[in-house]
Structure 1
Amino acid sequence: MSEPILKLTNIESSYGPITAIRGISMSVPEATIVTVLGANGAGKTTVLKTISGIIDPRKGAVIFEGKAIQSMDPDAVARIGIAHVPEGREVFPLLTARENLMMGAYARSDRKGIADDLEMVFNYLPAVKRLEKRTAGTMSGGEQQMLVIGRALMSRPKLLLLDEPSLGLSPRLVKEIFELIVRINGEQKLPILVVEQNAGTALKAAHYGYVLELGRVVMEDSCERLMEKEDVREFYLGAAPENVHADIRLKRRKTWQ
């Protein structure tokens, strides 16, 4: 794989006296999709919160583009190019879909670039384009998930963090969300770190994966190899891997050069 845009080295993060992640090391190379898998409580969300500055690690380093950023606050992390889409589809419910998207560009002053990126987002998200004047609070869960991904893209990020993008969505919408993730990665060469409980879908879409248990990395490999491992198949897939969204895998392989 290419040189990483993001590298975590021996990260330990806590919530008060409770240690959530313990000595985690992982990396995200340029232009790749990396997934972090694990059960509830494994520490997946804490990894993203530590990267984006919401949580300060007790130990270790977060290196982005060769510079340590673990002491930065979340606004500073966002301004250097890391966009974090948290779990739960946090839209501004009283603002329209268009206004929500424009909130993603709050730190930018390049009006022409913002206008171009808005059209790019609408190209990726035709459903959001159709609903651009509707208040976000009246949109469906799938529409809101598309909207928050689009809002993150409006910041023109160098790295996109996605926390459980499939949460609470129907299988059809999950498929659409991950097809969108694969398309953005393939066309924009945007590195993406996605935390996901839907292991089958995530492994089909991503290039490389980490498995967390109780705050530690217990397994890592290319997604193709992870899907061949008996432990992953038994505990995370629950079925033959080839039965889970094979079309996403084919598109991902075709677009990752």
Structure 2
Amino acid sequence: MPAEPRLGDGARLALTTLTILPLRVGRIDRATAGTAMTLAPVVGLLLGVPLAGVLLLLDAGTAPLVAAGVTVAVAALLTRGLHLDGLADTVDALGSYRRGPAALEIMKKPDVGPFGVVALVLVLLVQAAALAELAGRSRPAVFAAVLTATAAGRLGVTLACRRGVPAARPEGLGALVAGSVGPMALGVATAAVALLAIAAVPHRPWQGPLAVLAALAVAAGLLRHVVRRLGGITGDVLGAIVELVTTLVYLGLVLSA
């Protein structure tokens, strides 16, 4: 497929997979999937713009924690809550101590178990608390922080889809995107998000990139564990990675003050 049509199809696939936008995607194949997963941080960047706007607008007229809570709710709305659902399902599967098909069967169940509930509560609380703390900083720093965290969360998807990471099932989103991102694309995307993070902590420009890299290192460790337990990645695992990396970057940026 020529590069331009593939880029367009990949961009639409990334948007419709990672947001609520119901875009029609043309041809869907491994090449298109790789393009989509490479562009995932760009989708995160686009999502960060309205989220930063909501946080800054509400913080000007209400309590920071209220502004932060609404921002977290809008983030869930713009992603249909799919990443949070993936987080709950993944944690339930890992918390069961089962392996392979038995663990994957737990992920398919529509209900949320106790491990998943705890994970959701902790992630949402940390995100809201971190955003409330960040809201007290300068507007450019707040804007950059939200964009950094949302882009880094989707960079976690790019990391999870790198070559060498298998799919846990022969069908589904995981099978389509697993191993579809090359090392060059991952390196460029990581460098771009790290550079963006500099503006999030302008008085200590090294701490923003450090927060991003530390979060990705944790995500890489989780991926190794997931591959051992489940046999590879699934769509739920990708959602869990998004929420984990986003939360850790918010936390890292707050601790960098």
The verdict on a shared fold, with TM-score over 0.5 as the criterion, is no
Higher helix share: 2
Higher strand share: 1
Calculate the TM-score normalised by the size of structure 2: 0.34
